[in-house]
A and B are shown apart, each in its own frame.
Chain A
Amino acid sequence: MTQSMRNRANWLIPCAAVGALLAALPQASRSADDPRDWLQKMNHALATRNYDGTFFHLSEGRVETMRIVHRVRAGRVSERLQSLDGSGREFVRNNDELTCYLPDQHTVLVEPRPDNGPFLGSLPQFGADVNEFYRIESLPATHILGRAARVIAVNPKDQFRFGYRLWLDEKTAMPLKTQLCDSRGQVIEQIFFARLDMPESIPDSDLAPAVRTEGMRWVRQGPSRDNASPALSAYRASELPPGFHLTVAGTQTIGGATVPASHLVYSDGLATVSVFVEAQPADAPGAHSTAAGADPGPSTPAEPPMQGLARVGSGFAFSTVVQGHQVTAVGEVPAQTVEFIAHAVKSSGSAELPRH
């Protein structure tokens, strides 16, 4: 995995990919009010400023209140994301690792996320062809949180991806409100700050989890074993929606499986879809429903294969069975995108995944 991939756990870097849209554009051709410049300012502000804010996350009529604390000190980034009214879960990220406090599960999960490079250097870089699939425009300015705000829209040009509307603070370019929208502009999910402070410094205590960890189980995950069979590694999407291409391929153990799964990542530069391919147990109902299968997988207790479409957060998942393998596509994209990609997955016969 590349360094830039590791750093994507930062939730407010989010805007990194939007900012990356700009990388390929000639600076000289933009005016001072070019919306793409504002996205770049936002990207820079998110990565370099200290901030402490409380925001609302609205999705499907449900509201959650969350707090984000982000500190950049001596080139090191620390971040804390906390649910204030729900599960009590917290994510604390430092340069080296992401720690997930799950009090409802009496568990703390620690995932290594090494980061030895400059933070800004971790921003993903994409080609100019990304602009083929999104249209960036300014909308009328407004006020939010008592501040003047620029409103920028990142509109998808087709129905294979979602777009965004962003309300950026005129002074700092920090996003005060964001909306995830479909290709018709309908809001799917939105986040807006009720409070946003940008202090000069943030004490360590503000980055310490509030969860009491006495009696909780700590789980630290090490590197995965790359022991997928060649047959499993041969699976790829033979066709993709416009603009999507394979960016990452590898194997890892997913869930309670005893064998690794192939994990493929497809992206158009802004939207990302993961495809998981797992050998289906030979005695599972429907394991060979799609085609006569090679590599039917280990003999383990039968688990029915997942089939069809499911809503996952603001995105979708689509599962099917291909040649005795469970194939699931997941992403913050419209339903037809995950379905398209999942249906396109097939074994190429002899491909071998690159090793890391």
Chain B
Amino acid sequence: MSEQIREQVSAFLDGELPNSETELLLKRLTRDGELRESFGRYALIGEAVRGTTRGGLITRGFTGRVNLAIDGESIPANEHVPHARGPRWWRPFAGAAVAAGVAAVAVVALQQRAVAPTLRPGVPLTAQTAVPAQGALRAASGAVPAPREAISYTVPATSPAAPAATFPARLTNYVFAHSKYSSGLAQRGVMADLLIESDEQQSPAVNEAAAHVAP
């Protein structure tokens, strides 16, 4: 990847790339899967360096140390340094080693979130989870409107020989069905996810018995 493209990616992520150059970058990204991957890493690193992962893994002192590392300056151990920024092209890649560490922490955090023991019904909420007054657990009520239409996305007939393969397809169908009721900004993410072809996600297919096939 050329230095010019690095500059463009960094400037774009900083919201400072001129529109004319943005068009060029966009075309490159559309064509170049490797560049897209790098772009994703830049964005993740950029969020960390900018400190928008607030209150979590990255402290302001950490951000300052990363930026000093980017500038090539030595950093005394445990020294809290002020927020500083290096040349643009440096910032995203900057310290690829540091960035890799940040990414690894993020991944670990995500995995921990996915598998952490969670609250269950009937277990009193802790102080961390509690919300005022009406926050007490409430029982679900009954009278509600009913959906009127079926979802048209279905999985293929299951094969007893390969039951595990039906898991993601079945979930994908649930997500399709759920997308109709996703509210607010979440809808955007659901639709975007469904547009993405994923190696791990089976595409929804057609239930031959239920589908009406038109010419």
Contact = CB atoms under 8 A, between A and B. Distances in A.
Interface of B: 12, 15-16, 18-19, 22-23, 25-26, 29-31, 33, 36-37, 39-41, 43-44, 47, 52-57, 103, 106, 109-110, 113-116, 118-122, 125, 128-158, 160, 163, 166-175, 177-197, 203-207, 209-215
A87 B140 contact: no
A187 interface: yes
Interface residues of A, number: 147
A87 B189 contact: no
Contacts of A23: none
B139 A185 contact: no
Contact of B26 (A6, A11, A194): A194
A85 interface: yes
Nearest to B15: A144
A14 B187 contact: yes
Contacts of A354: 143-146
Given A242-B134, A265-B181, A306-B171, A63 B121 contact: no
Contacts of B195: 64, 66, 81-83, 86-87, 89-91
Nearest to A256: B155
Contacts of B150: 221-224, 252-253
Contacts of B125: 242
A354 B142 CA distance: 9
B118 A336 contact: yes
A238 to B, nearest CB: 6
A123 to B, nearest CB: 10
Contact of B203 (A104, A270, A334, A351): A104
Contacts of B143: 354
28 contacts: A1-B148, A10-B187, A11-B188, A14-B186, A56-B43, A57-B192, A63-B39, A65-B36, A81-B195, A83-B197, A87-B197, A110-B152, A132-B131, A146-B18, A221-B152, A221-B211, A236-B142, A239-B138, A243-B131, A246-B140, A253-B150, A256-B207, A274-B181, A303-B158, A306-B171, A315-B186, A315-B189, A339-B119
A129 interface: yes
Given A249-B146, A330-B174, A8 B139 contact: no
Interface of A: 1-2, 5-6, 8-18, 20, 54, 56-66, 81-87, 89-91, 100, 102, 104-105, 107, 109-112, 124, 129, 132-133, 142-146, 149, 157-160, 162, 164-165, 178-180, 182, 184-187, 189-191, 194-195, 217-224, 226, 236-243, 245-256, 258, 263, 265-267, 269-272, 274, 276, 301-304, 306, 309-317, 328, 330-332, 334-336, 339-340, 343-344, 351, 353-356
Given A240-B140, A303-B166, A17 B185 contact: yes
Given A109-B152, A160-B129, A332-B186, A11 B192 contact: yes
Nearest to A57: B192
A317 B205 CA distance: 20
Contacts of B37: 61-63
B109 A186 contact: yes
A334 B142 CA distance: 25
A236 B115 CA distance: 25
Given A245-B140, A340-B121, A356-B146, A335 B113 contact: yes
A83 B191 CA distance: 11
In the A-B complex, the 9 residue pairs with the smallest Cβ-Cβ separation, listed nearest first, are A17-B184, A221-B152, A224-B150, A87-B197, A336-B118, A313-B193, A250-B146, A332-B186, A250-B147
A86 to B, nearest CB: 5
B114 A311 contact: yes
Nearest to A129: B134
Given A253-B150, A269-B183, A330-B178, A246 B141 contact: yes
A195 B181 contact: no
Nearest to A316: B114
Contact of A66 (B119, B137, B170, B192): B192
Given A240-B138, A309-B114, A303 B163 contact: yes
B53 A63 contact: no
Given A133-B131, A254-B174, A306-B167, A8 B183 contact: yes
Max count, chain B CB within 10 A of own CB: residue among A20, A90, A236, A242: A242
A249 B144 contact: yes
A84 B30 contact: yes
B135 A185 contact: no
A42 to B, nearest CB: 10
A356 B147 contact: yes
B197 A184 contact: no
Contacts of B23: 195
Contacts of B155: 255-256
Contact of A132 (B39, B128, B135): B135
B181 A254 contact: no
